Amino acid sequence: MAAQKPAEWVQAVINRFDEQLPIKAGQQNTHTKVSTEHNKECLINISKYKFSMVISGLTNILKNVNNMRIFGEIAEKNLYLSQLIILDTLEKCLAGQPKDCLRLDETMLVKQLLPEICHFIHTYRDGNQHAAELRNSASGVLFSLSCNNFNAVFSRISTRLQELTVCSEDNADVHDIELMQYINVDCSKLKRILQETVLKFKALKKAAQIGVINSIEKAFWNWVENYPDEFTMLYQRPQSDMADFAEKLFDLVDNFADNTRRKAAVWPLQIILLILCPETIQDISKDVVEESKMNKKMFLENLRKALAGHGGSRQLTESAAIACVKLCKASTYINWEDNSVIFLLVQSMFADLKNLLFNPNKPFSRSGSNQSADVDLMIDCFVSCFRINPNNNQHLKICLASSSPTTFHYVLVNSLHRIITNSTLDWWPKIDEVYSHAEELRAMFADTLSRVLQSCNTHPTIRITAASAFMEKVTSLKFKEKPTDMETRNYKYLLLSLVKLIHADPKLMLYNPGKPGHEIQSSTAALIKGFNKLVPQTHMTEIAQEAMEALLVLHQSENIQLWNPDAPIETFWEISSQVLLYICKTLIGQQLVNSTEILKWLREILICRNKFLLKNKENATLGSGIPNCRQAQTTLEVVLFMFLWNSDTEAVLVSMSCFRHLCEEAEIRCGVDDVPVQTVLPNYSTFMEFASYSNMVSTGRAALQKRVMALLRRIEHPTPGSTEAWEDTYAKWDIATKSILNYPKTKIEDGQASDSLHKTIVKRRMSHVSGCGSIDLCDTDSLQEWINMTGFLCAIGGVCLQHRSNPGLATYSPPMGPFSERKGSMISVMSADGNAESSVGKFLDRLLSLMVCNHEKLGIQIRTNIKDLVGLELSPALYPLLFNKLKNNISRFFDSQGQVLSVLSAASM
């Protein structure tokens, strides 16, 4: 059908994409997110063959979504998410097209799409908290659009420039001029922009001239960062047309700057225009300079004076700092071997620039600016200084000092992150030049972590957003000062940056040259322990997520070797077991909204662990006999068991899939000593069945739980993990059912019985399911989870009773033979009176009580489910105990001669 009617098929995919947007389908869950991503990928692939149809369809969807009228916070969030999804899909479709690919309908598409994209770019100044992110996403679409449709996009800019030359309004709209900041610009395109500006600059009003000045500067960086080879070639060939236009525009801008304020506004662009003229820089460095170039020599002299604080104006000093940072940054894209003139110019300003920006006694702060802009400037300067001369690191030492302002620490960490993640050119030095400062960075991390965790209990939740929002006020806060709300916010931003830094290059923090193994292991353990503490911090979600990513990177095989090179395997068992133990205990004991995501991450940790063990399989068991290791394995098993009764299907499937990695670890460990895998993991076969069933993602919730209970009934060997999971689940279940057993004694006249039941049954939807607060049992998920717990306790209770019959069992028991061979002994054990008071006995007592539950609202549901679970899902090992209890209960209705007593008499017994 698709081959016969491709247009209808493509339209069906577009319609499906539209229907699944959050603004139409509602809040997304895991299933809808996966489906949406699948539709996106389909459209991106289809766009390679049906480009116009896909782009036109997405444009219409975006237009319709933009025109929607919404009310309420949830609808606003769904709108924002929908717009991001559409923009991201558009960008990927446009980016996937071959360059210079011409189409007849290009102009038509640009006319449809461009206004919608401009809507986001022009409204970024709005108060909407999502506007900046939408603008960034839209700018990505515009960049991709301009790759193959530059003429159509540039035509809009050029037309607006022409309109502004005849416009008499002082406050004319310059938004379309600003589009040149976001378009794809190579050498020839930048030349066209300069040429167009030279022709029209003089006729523009002041507002338009300022708009052009700011936009051309950003267009220049667009070119340099996306086409660094072209910029490098500029210094390897004679004077070009680019230089001619740049020099003419320099002169026009110089004439425009007829007062201090205007000079401060144009100096950053003037230094860039001068950089585009390498021969001019060469000429003005001489003692005798042509008259036509004297203004450029004077510009550099004034720049130096202002930078040194002799310019007579704070505005000019600040502008000089900005211009010089841009000069330093641009110079790093030129190989020192190609041209030395620009580097002589840089070196003549280097010392004054660093003194101005990195003075801890007088932190740099621009008048009328926000702190994030100053921080960005300092980061640009730090990175440029490193790339020019990594050995000249006085400013690095200043930023590392504990007495320096928090801003300096933030600048240092983010600069290092940029050095790690952005190393485009061969001659840029690598981060290993800074490895020698690993100990100081570890100390900074430990100190920052301690301060943030201490402040969590005393300060309100502070949302960590984009790093560019770091601090709104300049302060000279020091580590030893008493924390304030602003300082706490700053430390959180710093902590987030430190975690990202470790994620980017873990070797930077693990570097310990010349130290003995035990000291290396100690510092590694302290570092990883810090990350562990961050994972469950639900009030700092971004930091927690980055901490998980960092721990995953640290668990890569090559990085585990660095935990202690003298004893990598023993250290692995010690430290990684601590990670598992801490996270598993957290999942069991705390209310974590993102518990399913943490479990997914834990699965990735298990995968990394097994990869490391496989690479070292000959010595895989070295050090694995430590108590931490055994305890971690037990606690992990507890977590996996307890997630099996989760109301979230995805959580159950993830838990089941984790059993596979538990089995793989057992296989590796048993392979070393050539012993049966059941020696380490007695329930290996059943665990593998759990794992294989986890792939059936289409399973419904009820069917999945039936399968889970069937597999639980197959477990034959009691282990500390299975017993602890049963006991913990029973404790939660017991609290949840007390109200039911007390009914109707609870007051019902004023509705308190129902309220009591609701609050007691699941006062928390289990630590790994929901957040805090009481949850109504009438909520489907809450009731389903209580039913799942009941089924879990029924299905695995027989194994736990078996464990209870052997109280001395402290480790995994050996295989005990088929169930049929154990019936006699089990019946005799379970007939003992002592077991009647055990947790299993108490559980069965409560089950029998619930079979006659007459709760006003939920009695029928509870009775029906209990009868089904007892009749179909109860472990056969519990039958004798159940029958004994039934016999004891029923016997109350008969006297010693077997005669039936009255109901009232029996009830009083």
* pLDDT recorded at residue 369: 65
Q: Which two tokens stand for residue 681?
A: 């993991």
Place of tokens 């933030």: 410
Distance CA 896, CA 304 (A): 112
Residue 577 backbone dihedrals phi, psi, to 5 degrees = -65, -35
Distances (CA, A) of 841 to 720, 761, 832, 837: 19, 20, 11, 6
pLDDT at site 124: 54
593: pLDDT confidence band, cut at 50, 70 and 90? Answer: confident
Give residue-wise pLDDT tens across range 35-47: 788 888 999 998 8
Q: Looking at residue 561, what is its pLDDT?
A: 94
Q: What percent of the chain has a predicted confidence (pLDDT) above 70?
A: 83
Two tokens at 281? 């820089």
Q: What is the mean pLDDT of the chain?
A: 82
Task: Kindly indicate the confidence band of residue 804, based on its pLDDT and cuts at 50, 70 and 90.
Answer: low
pLDDT in tens, 298-314: 999 999 999 988 767 88
Tell me how far CA of residue 571 lies from CA of 144, 526, 560, 580, in angstroms.
Answer: 48, 13, 9, 14
pLDDT at 477 over 70: no
At 723-762, the pLDDT tens digits run 999 999 999 898 878 766 665 554 443 344 334 333 333 3
252 CB-near residues (< 8 Å, 6+ apart): 198, 201, 202
Helix H or strand E segment including 59 = helix 51-66
Is the pLDDT reported for residue 805 higher than 80?
no
pTM value is 0.84
SS (H, E, C) 529-589: HHHHHHCCCCCCHHHHHHHHHHHHHHCCHHHHCCCCCCCHHHHHHHHHHHHHHHHHHHHHH
Give the mean pLDDT of 218-242.
86
Provide the pLDDT for residue 752.
41
What average pLDDT does this structure show over 55-80? 86
Residue 900 φ/ψ, nearest 5 degrees = -70, 130
pLDDT value of residue 473: 38
pLDDT of residue 597: 92
pLDDT at 4 over 70: no
Q: For 76-97, how does the pLDDT look when each residue is reduced to its tens digit (9 = 90+)? A: 888 888 999 999 999 999 888 7
